[in-house]
Amino acid sequence: MQSTPKQPARRGRIFPERTLSPEELARCKAEDEAFDRRCWAIFERVRPDLIQEHYGWYVGVEPDSGDYFIDADRMQAHKKVLEKYPNKDHFVYCLNETGTTGRI
């Protein structure tokens, strides 16, 4: 019986042509942080009005229009934003003291 030669282990990235430069990574990070700040500003503006009556509900925020959508279910709040703004980025917060939607 003859054995087949063993393939050498492949090393390195799977798609090296898709590696981003440090400048591109820094630009993406800065854009993400600016987007987060715009969403957070809208959430901070509407939270005091909504938190008393809808504590624990979720708020979907679309920062370009300033619109927000609330629902008791996180996925429904997400879907409400997508129905009106299907090709826009958005963020979902929980109506609580911190705005977080989950646990660590």
pLDDT at 13: 67
Q: How far apart are CA 72 and CA 41, in angstroms?
A: 21
**Nearest residue to 91 (alpha-carbon basis) of 104, 74, 103:** 74
| Residue 69 covered by a domain | yes
| Residue 46 covered by a domain | yes
| Residue 40 covered by a domain | yes
Q: What does pTM read for this prediction?
A: 0.75
Whether the predicted pLDDT of 97 surpasses 90: no
Provide the residue range defining the domain that includes 58.
Answer: 23-94
Q: What is the mean pLDDT of the chain?
A: 87
Is residue 85 within 8 A of residue 92, CB to CB? The reply is no
Whether the predicted pLDDT of 27 surpasses 90: yes
| Residue 16 covered by a domain | no
Whether the predicted pLDDT of 103 surpasses 80: no
Average pLDDT over residues 36-49: 93
Pairing of strands 91-94, 67-71: unpaired
In what order do the strands lie in the sheet containing 91-94? 67-71, 58-62, 91-94
| Residue 102 covered by a domain | no
User: How many C-beta atoms lie closer than 10 Å to residue 81's C-beta?
Assistant: 22
Instruction: Tell me the pLDDT tens digit for each residue of 51-66.
Output: 899 999 999 999 999 9
Q: Domains in the chain: how many in total?
A: 1
